[in-house]
Amino acid sequence: MSSSVCRALLCSKITHNKSLKCAENYLKTGVRKHKKFALTEDRIIMDSDNKASEKYNLVVVDDEKFICEIVKEVLSDDDRYSARYFSSPSRALNYINTHPVDLVLTDFFMGQHSGMDILEATRKRHPEAIVIMMTGHPTIENVISVLKLGAYDYIVKPFKLDTLKLTVERGLKAQRLAKENMHLKSLISLYQISEAMGSTIHLDSLLNLVLQSIVNEFNADLVSISLWDPHRDCLALEAFYGDAEQIKQNPLLSGKSEINYKVLKDAKPQVLNELEDSQESEGTSYTSLVCHPLLVQGKVIGTLNLLRNGQFDIFGLGDIHMLWILASKAATAIEHSRLYSELEQAYIGTIRAFANAVEARDNYTRGHTERVYRIASMIVRALGWSEEQMKNLYMGCILHDIGKIGVPDSILNKPGRLNDEERSIMQMHPETGVKMLEGIPMLEPALPYILYHHEQYDGSGYPLGLKGGNIPIEGRILAIADTVDAILTNRPYRRGASLEKVSRELIECSSGQFDPELVKIFLNVLGEHKDELTAIYGTLQEHENNILTPQSAAQ
């Protein structure tokens, strides 16, 4: 393990220890006690070092009552143990299925129900619990079978009291070490999750990461995130994992219940268990809920809601401790993402203002950048571009002619052909645009669109004279979209042409001005978007309904 990771884990451990103290303080007042499964203070005791620790829940099962009495005599002196004793295996099974259990000490032969039944029920309901078998008739076959099924150890009757006590202590120590190992793995996982959250700036991606992390780390069946919406003055469901209908119909999960708003107000988690019999369950079969605040600098920005399924898969104190850490990291990341989004919107507003300033200088190019985006998006959707790439495309299309702000009006609006000097000035606008925007990290994805949209596939374009695949795909796409808009748009000296004219022009210039593969893709999707283009330009001639494809043109 690298030294940087070790340092990070040490910091995580220190932070976690502080978090435990904070969590314990508000758990005592903030955890909702609900029926017999709720986390309550009587499960927390102080050990010899005056540190908070959980009591161990022990179950002793033997159809011979005097054995139960002997075991009780041994264990009652230790205040770390909260033990229940059963001479009836049936009653013991009922208890195990409905209560938290850390260790089970059971006889092997008990008539109607054997120790194997107790072992199987315990392993099913409490995978981390320790099971120790007692038997007066040990055989190799029996020992092997119980150990294979997951028993920790066995004791042969009659046994010494010290042996019994030592075996119980050793079993609980093994359980504690296993939990500590799991805890360490969780800390490593939380550190990795925190790193991932810190590098994710877009809210949708971040919320999905938080949901997936919670599902993986806490074995939750349903998870939802509700964030405070100041405009609507309420919690709004922003993201969820699980059955959509079940989440939206459940007030707890959709962020509409009194419990959500209590958490919002008090900034303390609420834990409810045995939900199938409660009003909050809304008819679901889920049995354990955590509603946890998303807290940033003392301000609650939302709630994190988790549900588990099963008769006894309840959220324990350890879950709440770990969730407290993850929720803190998630809340900070969400707030940063929101601030980034606001900054991004401000940038985009500024960008639009720049683009509008350029377009306002030429009545015949107003709306050009938006139209170019609509056309370019037809191509990139066919290429399967991601949402992030689509955002960059929009930014690039809006800004691709920003450099024209440095071109004099006399050149920009000249009705006739440009002379060599004027053409040279006009051809500087891609590089001018890049110089205006370079150094602004948020706008870097737009630079390829700005610099390369006048490059041509055969190398005859400007400003760099790049050829073929050396032209970044952003420039090759925008070259097609820019030309299509120019053909379809009305000019002072002509009306906008038809889609058939667009098809012919692109096919004729394929491999010369344009990337032939991208031309094929655009022509293949052009028919699907005819109505959209007609609505945008309003200049298409009704009698020209045929749209050429490369194949039909060849014929």
Residue 56 C-beta-side C-alpha neighbours within 13 Å: 24
Most confident of 147-156, 294-303, 352-361: 294-303
Q: State the amino acid at position 453 in one-letter form.
A: H
What mean pLDDT do residues 465-470 have?
Answer: 96
Distance CA 527, CA 533 (A): 10
What pLDDT does 435 receive?
93
Using the predicted structure, report yes or no on whether residue 23 has a pLDDT greater than 70: no
Decide which of 181 and 27 is more confident. Answer: 181
Per residue, the 3-state secondary structure of 325-381, as one string, reads HHHHHHHHHHHHHHHHHHHHHHHHHHHHHHHHHHHCCCHHHCCHHHHHHHHHHHHHH
- DSSP-based three-state secondary structure for 484: helix
| Cβ-proximal residues to 141 (8 Å cutoff; 6+ apart), any chain | none
Over range 282-307, report the average pLDDT: 82
Mean pLDDT of 341-354: 79
Average pLDDT, stretch 448-454? 97
> What pLDDT sits at residue 28?
39
Return the C-alpha torsion angle 290, 295, 300, 301, nearest 10.
Answer: -90
Per-residue pLDDT tens for 99-155? 888 999 998 888 777 888 889 888 887 888 899 988 887 778 777 877 888 888 888
Residue 538 has pLDDT above 80, yes or no: no
Report pLDDT digits (tens) over 210-226.
Answer: 888 888 878 888 999 99
Local structure of residue 43 (DSSP, 8 states): G
Q: Given pLDDT bands bounded at 50, 70 and 90, which one contains residue 293?
A: very high
- Residue 449 to residues 8, 11, 133, 210, 369, Cα–Cα distance (Å): 41, 44, 73, 33, 12
The residues, ordered by sequence, that sit 6+ positions from 137 with a Cβ below 8 Å of its Cβ are: 108, 109
Share of the chain above pLDDT 70, in %: 79
pLDDT score of 8 more than 70? no
Per-residue pLDDT tens for 47-77?
334 344 468 899 999 988 888 888 888 888 8
Considering the chain, what is the average pLDDT of its residues? 79
Q: What order of strands is seen across the sheet that includes strand 222-229? A: 234-241, 222-229, 299-308, 288-296, 270-273
Residues 367-426: pLDDT tens digits?
Answer: 888 899 999 999 999 999 998 899 899 999 999 998 988 889 888 888 778 999 999 999
| Residues 422-443: tens digit of each pLDDT | 999 999 999 999 998 888 888 8
What per-residue confidence (pLDDT) applies to 192? 66
Q: In this predicted structure, what is the pLDDT of residue 54?
A: 60
Query: Domains in the chain, start-ordered, CATH in brackets?
Result: 55-181 (3.40.50.2300), 201-331 (3.30.450.40), 360-554 (1.10.3210.10)
> What digits encode the pLDDT tens for the residues 233-262?
999 998 999 888 888 888 888 888 999 999
Buried b (16+ CB within 10 A) or exposed e, 264-284: beeebbbbbbbbeeeebbbeb
Residue 190's pLDDT is what?
A: 64
DSSP state string for 143-207: HHHHHHTT--EEEESS--HHHHHHHHHHHHHHHHHHHHHHHHHHHHHHHHHHHHHHT--SHHHHH
- Model confidence over 475-517: pLDDT tens digits? 999 999 999 998 888 766 677 788 888 899 999 999 899 999 9
CB atoms within 10 A of CB 426: 18
Cα–Cα distance, 314 to 336 (Å, whole number): 32
**Mean pLDDT across the stretch 264-278?**
74
The three-point CA angle 140-145-147 to 5° equals: 95
Convert the pLDDT of each residue in 169-203 to its tens digit: 999 988 888 877 766 666 666 666 666 666 666 77
Q: Which residue matches tokens 């760099």?
A: 464
